[in-house]
Structure 1
């Protein structure tokens, strides 16, 4: 089993789990689309300027679709959820992502998922359900809908990125998606969000972290993993995002962690390990 690839890919959702606490504690309030824009566009500009490699014209359409799913739609929905829900709950809803990827592979490729993988993914959803019962969970309808839609976009983007496999180096593949997705977010942020106030040093640092670490580094690791692992295996690692969000909320904000929450976390970790085992190539 390619454990090094798994561990490097797992860093991406672990980093994304910090999005919620950074958004609520460091950024100006009520500007989800601006946050998504400032996370993705600078990272895309930096990467594309570094690689200086334009994708072939024949794959521009597919790259645009991937940029919309993985970056534009997903990041906009992610920050809507992050502003409206507690961090753990916002990320927890994404637990359905591995099941969505399995359903896409079955429907479009005729690849019936292994029973162990399905069972493990359902087990992970059950673990997330226990986390939902933790004290302080707030059911905001718009936030929940945004989190669910974001999970669907990311599942489709993960599946299609592996299915289409454009012949583009991972840095260029990541950079052009971030750039295109950021450009898609530009008019939305301009129209929907209030102008930014004069930013403090803390707020600038928050945006810089989200862009350089949360977008540039994390997406490079994520797309590298998609190229090397199965889509189901990659999507199951996304469950590390809510775990990170919950742990950070407990460690830094004093949010309560009940025994039920700890049981849910253990179930999610067991689910991730089982999906990785079930998805690994057999010798």
Structure 2
């Protein structure tokens, strides 16, 4: 598939995630961030695992656990904690610095030297998103801000490591997504029970909200996201992230009656322009780095990347 089509499909993931804040505040039980993260991750992971019918093997048990912890197990509870404590747009503002995190981590882990263009574009994206969401009603909450910052750092690290490790030979993005969602959900489960106690009673509205989050917002969206990481650079993928808070602002305006000022509209234009510019950056990553079966670590030691022997995937027995 050509790169523009890959970019557009990958962009659907942060657009979907931008609806998370409205769904959380309008449909789900209050003050249950861990349970909400669990209901979003584990059912989606088990559904995708049943479809992929592939289990990790060898070192990929550990890698899947690490990626699941960063992209799901830590990210989801922190995201919902910030969403519960602050308005949706304000909770998302810290996520706009994700591209800057990824630029720095890509230099450390992928051998990609930061360019002035990527850094400036990252600051423009963060500034644009800030103009959009900091005009929203509501006061800053210290715990909410720290949770949003930690969730952004966790997701950024997970994105870069996903690119660095690639995938085992013969394993597609569907299986990789299933492994991470399942691992992350299993990590959240005991924490949810210990901290929040028994699951709350759910009405039809909450059930519908959780079904939406688990299927469209998580299973499909994360499959598109990890598929995009395999085909684009980590920096290009993360510059799609500002679409999430922009979507949250639009949903707040269209569905929740939140006003958009001229300053916010200008910020949206800046952030969207930075997102587009992030896709036009030259690729500085060595050929093959981050692809399935390719060792990116060789790059840091001055050795040309060479294929590595990836552990074969174990297939689940047919039902």
TM-score by length of 2: 0.85
Deviation per residue, 1:216-254 (Å, 9 max, x gap): 000000000000000001011011000010110111111
Q: Which moved more, 1:43-52 or 1:65-74?
A: 43-52
Question: Does the 8 Å contact 2:129/2:246 carry over to 1?
Answer: no
| Cα separation, 2, equivalents of 1:157 and 1:257 | 33
Runs of 4+ in 1 over 4 A off after TM superposition: 279-282
Aligned to 1:104: 105
Question: Does the 8 Å contact 1:116/1:274 carry over to 2?
Answer: no
| Cα separation, 2, equivalents of 1:137 and 1:267 | 23
Q: Over aligned residues, Cα RMSD in angstroms?
A: 1.5
Shift of residue 279, structure 1, vs aligned partner: 4.3
Aligned to 2:208: 205
Aligned to 2:193: 190
Shift of residue 51, structure 1, vs aligned partner: 1.4
| Cα separation, 1, equivalents of 2:109 and 2:184 | 25
Deviation per residue, 1:134-190 (Å, 9 max, x gap): 141420111110001000000000000001112121111000110110000001110
Deviation per residue, 1:90-121 (Å, 9 max, x gap): 11210111111110112334421222221111
| Cα separation, 1, equivalents of 2:280 and 2:36 | 36
Gaps of 5+ in 2: 286-319
Question: Does the 8 Å contact 2:110/2:164 carry over to 1?
Answer: no
Larger CA Rg, structure 1 vs 2: 2
Aligned to 1:165: 166
Q: 1:76 to 1:245 in 2, by over 3 A?
A: same
Gaps of 5+ in 1: none
Aligned to 2:178: 175
| Cα separation, 1, equivalents of 2:178 and 2:125 | 32
Q: 1:118 to 1:56 in 2, by over 3 A?
A: same
Q: 1:280 to 1:251 in 2, by over 3 A?
A: farther
Aligned to 2:46: 45
Paired residues, number: 282
Aligned to 1:258: 261
Q: SS of the counterpart of 1:176?
A: helix
Q: SS of the counterpart of 2:55?
A: coil
Question: Does the 8 Å contact 1:131/1:265 carry over to 2?
Answer: yes
Shift of residue 199, structure 1, vs aligned partner: 1.5
Deviation per residue, 1:184-217 (Å, 9 max, x gap): 0001110112433331111100000000011100
| Cα separation, 2, equivalents of 1:271 and 1:170 | 27
Question: Does the 8 Å contact 1:31/1:194 carry over to 2?
Answer: no
TM-score by length of 1: 0.96
Aligned to 2:127: 126
Aligned to 2:117: 116
| Cα separation, 2, equivalents of 1:194 and 1:279 | 50
| Cα separation, 1, equivalents of 2:270 and 2:249 | 14
Aligned to 1:140: 141
Aligned to 1:226: 229
Shift of residue 277, structure 1, vs aligned partner: 0.3
| Cα separation, 1, equivalents of 2:123 and 2:138 | 21
